[in-house]
Amino acid sequence: MKHLQLKTKEFVQKATNEERIVACKKFKWIGYTHAKKILNIMDDFLTYPKSHRMPNLLLVGDSNNGKTAILSKFNQLHLAYIDEDTSRLINPVLMIQAPPEPDEKRFYNAILEKLFAPYRTSEKIESRYIRVKNLLIDLKTKVLIIDEIHHVLAGSPMRQRTFLNVIKHLSNDLQIPLICAGTNLAFNAIQSDQQLANRFEPRVLPRWNNDLELKRLLLSFEKLLPLKEESNLIDNNLVTKILALSDGLIGEIAKILELSSIMAIQLGIEKINKSLIDQIDYTPPQNRKRRFIA
């Protein structure tokens, strides 16, 4: 089992088939080149000196192409902790999801809920804002992440402008960087406010192509999949097959490998091949809409 990393190899040697199937379903972080570059940018934000114009990042990409995974990884790397010198709780990174529509109250509620801070439905907007601001100052929050920012477009143009002004105002008051992420519509949401557009550096997560980067990704996956035999996922036939089915989306690639690994264990084949992939219960993203309509 030289194809496996040491930790995975030791697990496979001791685990039952049922345990290995559960392991197949668990999320696997792969630090591919583009993800590492984005994480480095976000890491720089943590030490950026306060100023009237803080750097901001807009992470854009298709659904299921790794945006939330990168944000979650960054968040996990900078979890809340207790300062040993002051015994105070420090929360350097706060990650929330944008409300389903541009609503100021829901935005503040999302932050308060994430911080386990109580609030009353009757509490005025001004009071909520002050509490949110003071909480983030007390917790020494250095970066605010807002995922699914394209939800802004679900409201009227007036509500969109109001919500974007809220985000801008909070960032200005706290003097901390913002990281927003969403589908390609997110770019339109931010671009609708000229001041915000000038402050956000857009970073696009492209779909995967049949190149060296994809082969590196598949090789990394193979080291983590709990299979006893080598699949040689970088074989051109397998690469082409996986890429075509996944439509170049990393979330879909992961799902194909998950389902294939489970079937390989169940059938006792212990490796992924082209014939096995043909047998899994998987509908490519480009076919799902047609299947639903049919």
Please write the tens of the pLDDT for every residue from 249-282: 999 999 999 999 999 999 999 999 999 999 999 9
d(CA 73, CA 191): 27
What is the phi/psi pair of residue 215, to 5°?
Answer: -65, -35
CATH (one of 3.40.50.300, 3.20.20.10, 3.30.499.10, 3.40.1160.10) for 33-205? 3.40.50.300
pLDDT score of 119: 83
pLDDT band at 221 (very low <50, low <70, confident <90, very high): very high
List all residues 6 or more positions away from 66 whose beta carbon is below 8 Å from its beta carbon.
Answer: 35, 205, 250, 251
Positive or negative: CA dihedral 208, 211, 217, 222 = positive
Q: How far does CA 9 lie from the centroid of its chain?
A: 28
Can you tell me the distance from the alpha carbon of 234 to that of 258, in angstroms, rounded to the nearest whole number?
16
Q: What is the pTM of this model?
A: 0.92
**Residue 286: how many other CB atoms lie within 10 Å:** 11
Share of the chain above pLDDT 90, in %: 82
Checking if the pLDDT of 138 tops 90, the result is: yes
Torsion of Cα atoms, 247 then 191 then 43 then 130, to 10°: -130
Pairing status of strand 81-82 against strand 89-90: antiparallel
User: What is the rounded average pLDDT for all residues in the chain?
Assistant: 93
Judge whether 141 and 117 are in contact, CB under 8 Å: no
DSSP string, 127-166: HHHHHHHHHHHHTT--EEEEE-GGGGGGS-HHHHHHHHHH
- C-alpha to C-alpha distance for 230 and 119, rounded to whole angstroms: 54
The radius of gyration of the chain from alpha carbons, rounded to an integer in Å, stands at: 22
SS3 94: strand
Q: How far apart are CA 53 and CA 176, in angstroms?
A: 9
Per DSSP, the three-state class of 16 is coil
The amino acid at residue 184 is N
Q: Report pLDDT digits (tens) over 39-66.
A: 999 999 999 999 988 999 999 999 999 9
Calpha distance 168→5 (Å, rounded): 45
Query: Does residue 93 have a pLDDT over 60?
Result: yes
Place of tokens 């002050």: 130
Task: List the one residue out of 231, 232, 242 whose CA is nearest residue 272.
Answer: 231
pLDDT tens-digit map of 71-88: 999 999 999 999 999 999
**Helix, strand or coil for residue 90?**
strand
| pLDDT top residue among 219 and 190 | 219
The burial class, CB within 10 Å (0-12 / 13-18 / 19+), for 76 is: exposed
Q: Which structure tokens are listed for 4?
A: 């496996």
